[in-house]
Structure 1
Amino acid sequence: MDSPHLSRRLLVSLVSVLALASLSTGLAQGAPPPVKEPAAPTAAAAAVTFSDEFDGPAGAAADGGKWQTETGDNVANHERQFYTAGNRNAALDGQGHLVITARRENPSNYQCWYGRCEYTSARLNTAGRFTTTYGRVEARMKIPRGQGIWPAFWMLGNDIGQVGWPNSGEIDIMENVGFEPSTVHGTLHGPGYSGSGGIGAGYTLPGGQAFADAFHTFSVDWSPNAITWSVDGTVYQRRTPADLGGRQWVFDKPFFLILNLAVGGYWPGDPDGSTVLPQQLLVDYVRVSTDTAQPGGGGPITGIGGKCVDVAGADSANGTAVQLYDCNGTAAQKWSVGGDGTIRALGKCLDVASGGTADGTRTQLWECNGSAAQQWAVPAARDIVNPQADKCLDATGGSSANGTRLQIWTCTGAAAQKWTVTR
């Protein structure tokens, strides 16, 4: 479904926030947050390009070498909060979390678009400190709850100062509006598909669970011409240029990260008598990783029956069949998943024959040429997807026999389409 929010960034500085003195007010009183879970291991060939685990003393501000804190209000969405500087509304809790707190208060006579501000909160970004093009971008968070409460984890194109929004592009990794406690949204915004016309989808927890009740991990896997969203490792949406109806894809360039907790606005509506404040967004970690594996390195890709993706006869000639075979550790079974969206073995690329998009089109080894036939997304759900065709790498006939050819096929979630990539 489309994400019906409007631009959130027009009246808040994105790239030149002044470093203000930290304020001394601590975190809101309440039950202590849960103990931080240990970090999951990162695959050996995946390079972590940005990480903040938010370790530090309680009350400390976020690391200024990684984050800048924006200040001010936002008339563009008719949000109600004033974003403050320092550690007043964004501080570490001493247990490995960043806590962004929204309060009903105005301690410094802040002025908003509607008059005297009624709420305070915080918004942080990495502009001028960190940008990324492609990779996995994820955060583990426990979101707040309540009517009018609007937490978000998202990205903006680093060229926003030159081209403006929405030409810069926006990737919303996670948004929640308080009247939907069980649902989060992931959305793309760009020229001709912004605001209420953004292209996205929602993900709803089963059984009426609320996102505010526990920590969840929100991720995008981003490669050339493909972005895939997941919650706790479950993929719920994949977008490619084919989804834009001929409009411009603006997601092959550097983006920076944003964390914020808004109050009110056109989409969530304003707080009402049911809204309990303060509310807190707890962020366990934010991580960005990419893959630095090079052709000739890498490791096996295993599929149905525990068999390995194999280059037939270890032949590096263009057009050599890609198949399943008993794992044997040879170079014909060592695949590198690159940050450029390619999957390589023997110095060549996994390729969809003739750039086909139909079910049953065979895969082969071919000289790397940058074409869409050689672009693959490898999301957490263990699919390997060719975005041009929007189809999955598949073992023909669901067979695990040696020599079974690999093809592309409509993604079904079947065992023949599940792969374990060892990097």
Structure 2
Amino acid sequence: MDSPRLSRRSRRLFLSLASVLALTSLTTGLAQGAPAPAAEAPARTAAAAAVTFSDEFDGPAGAAVDGGKWQIETGDNVNNHERQYYTAGNRNAALDGQGHLVITARKENPGNYQCWYGRCEYTSARLNTAGKFTTTYGRVEARMKIPRGQGIWPAFWMLGNDIGQVGWPNSGEIDIMENVGFEPGTVHGTLHGPGYSGSDGIGAGYSLPGGQAFADAFHTFAVDWSPNAITWSVDGTVYQRRTPADLGGRQWVFNKPFFVILNLAVGGYWPGDPDGSTPLPQQLVVDYVRVSSDSGQPGGGGGPISGLGGKCVDVAAGGTANGTAVQLYDCNGTAAQQWSVGGDGTIRALGKCLDVASGGTANGTQVQLWDCNGSAAQQWATPAARDIVNPQADKCLDVTGGSAVNGARLQIWTCTGAANQKWTVTR
């Protein structure tokens, strides 16, 4: 981690045993959101991704959130020693009539709510899509203006949909964005799973330059999630990528359905409690939440992948034999340049898969065409930074020598952000 997290929260459980048990009966099917402009990663065009969930929070001021998309949790949270009581309805989570959801934390207790420490001192709101929507892989993003102040703890995150069966942390948790008030210019992205949860979560922080505070403006927080790889970004800038290689042999539990959560906590082990410097009420203002995923299926249709010098990823001479070289070549629209990025993590052309030779992980290992076999050598992630990454090697698809000549071989290499590792996938 980039900064110490003393007294980090032990876990972010559901608010009551009943909440957890209720999950055992929730469906795992996708609920299609209303059509909306796609907010896909720059590595794909709009045609390459399908919006599977979208809430733009349009509606009259004071209206509650769409119950077809969100459920509202109620109660307190002793596990983190948070101070708020999460309320139902639109009291602390409401539309503002200008296309935003506003989650408000207040110092109040109008309902004589009781918390783990006695009479509750604060109210706020927490929403999730459990039973309404889950996703496995894709881009999950929200544009938000976060609150400020000591003890204030906004979060945008996901939990494995099997939490009711396996519990936490075996369910897995993906924290897309967390901020604690004493770090106004820094947000954190973290993975939690068996053997790496709470203060031992695997993550990193991202800080704005020049002493800026996240509460001063809207920012877009996202993860790009594919088989065996998750990449975090803020405003399109990638700051972290995690693969099973980061877990030291512990179990990767992120290749299954997850649901989405938004909440604004007050106090807790990690942020500490509010004090005299904390202005209240505070608001988490959400412009939109969108989830998009690959629309292509393995082996189907496809389109070109262009890169250095505007040239295309090409199967040499259109060959289909195992081991045929994959190279850079003038874009010509032939079948040798039609690639399908599948939801299973493969990239396919001519009925075969883009493959790292012999499953190598060393810099300079060449890529080739090979029969699709489900191996890690044929798994690729396409994060927002326009890299094409082999998670097993934790290396990027790269043009050998940075040469844009026809026939330049493609290989894997440590990700550097250079132009010879940037790709645009189209369909």
Give the TM-score normalised by the residue count of structure 1. 0.93
Is 1:334 equivalent to 2:334 in the alignment? no
- Partner residue, 1:282: 285
Change (3 A) 1:45 1:414: closer
Work out whether residues 156 and 255 of structure 1, in 8 Å CA contact, stay in contact via their aligned partners in 2.
yes
Distance 2:414 2:37 in 1: 37
Structure 1 counterpart SS, 2:259: strand
Work out whether residues 190 and 248 of structure 1, in 8 Å CA contact, stay in contact via their aligned partners in 2.
yes
Work out whether residues 15 and 128 of structure 1, in 8 Å CA contact, stay in contact via their aligned partners in 2.
no
User: Which segment is superposed worse, 140-149 or 4-13?
Assistant: 4-13
5 Å-filtered alignment, 1:126-205, equals 126-205=129-208
Is 1:363 equivalent to 2:367 in the alignment? yes
Structure 2 counterpart SS, 1:44: helix
User: Which segment is superposed worse, 83-92 or 39-48?
Assistant: 39-48
Query: 2:116 aligned to 113, 116, 126, which one?
Result: 113
5 Å-filtered alignment, 1:13-412, equals 13=19, 16=22, 40=39, 43-294=46-297, 295-412=299-416
- Partner residue, 1:32: none
Structure 1 counterpart SS, 2:90: coil
Post-superposition shift, 1:45?
Answer: 2.6
Distance 1:50 1:15 in 2: 25
Distance 2:186 2:245 in 1: 26
Q: Counterpart of 1:293 in structure 2: which amino acid?
A: G
Q: Counterpart of 1:272 in structure 2: which amino acid?
A: D
- 1:69-120 deviation line (CA, Å, top 9, x unaligned): 0000001011000000000000011111111000010001000011110000
- Partner residue, 1:33: none
Work out whether residues 76 and 115 of structure 2, in 8 Å CA contact, stay in contact via their aligned partners in 1.
yes
- 1:158-207 deviation line (CA, Å, top 9, x unaligned): 11111111111101010000111111100000111110000001011111
Question: Could you tell me the percent identity over the aligned residues?
Answer: 87
Structure 2 counterpart SS, 1:47: strand
- 1:336-375 deviation line (CA, Å, top 9, x unaligned): 1111111111111111000000000000011111111011
Mind listing any 5+ residue stretches in structure 2 that lack a counterpart? Answer: 24-35
Distance 1:11 1:102 in 2: 17
Post-superposition shift, 1:39?
Answer: 6.8
Work out whether residues 380 and 391 of structure 2, in 8 Å CA contact, stay in contact via their aligned partners in 1.
yes
Query: How big is the alpha-carbon RMSD for the aligned residues of Structure 1 and Structure 2?
Result: 1.5
Work out whether residues 228 and 238 of structure 1, in 8 Å CA contact, stay in contact via their aligned partners in 2.
yes
Mind listing any 5+ residue stretches in structure 1 that lack a counterpart? Answer: 18-36
- Partner residue, 2:9: 5
Distance 2:22 2:90 in 1: 18
Post-superposition shift, 1:5?
Answer: 2.4
Change (3 A) 1:39 1:375: closer
Structure 1 counterpart SS, 2:336: helix
Change (3 A) 1:358 1:180: same
Number of equivalent positions: 404
Post-superposition shift, 1:296?
Answer: 3.9
Work out whether residues 106 and 120 of structure 1, in 8 Å CA contact, stay in contact via their aligned partners in 2.
yes
Change (3 A) 1:208 1:386: same
- 1:362-417 deviation line (CA, Å, top 9, x unaligned): 00011111111011111111111101000010000010000000000011111111
Give the TM-score normalised by the residue count of structure 2. 0.92
Work out whether residues 15 and 127 of structure 1, in 8 Å CA contact, stay in contact via their aligned partners in 2.
no
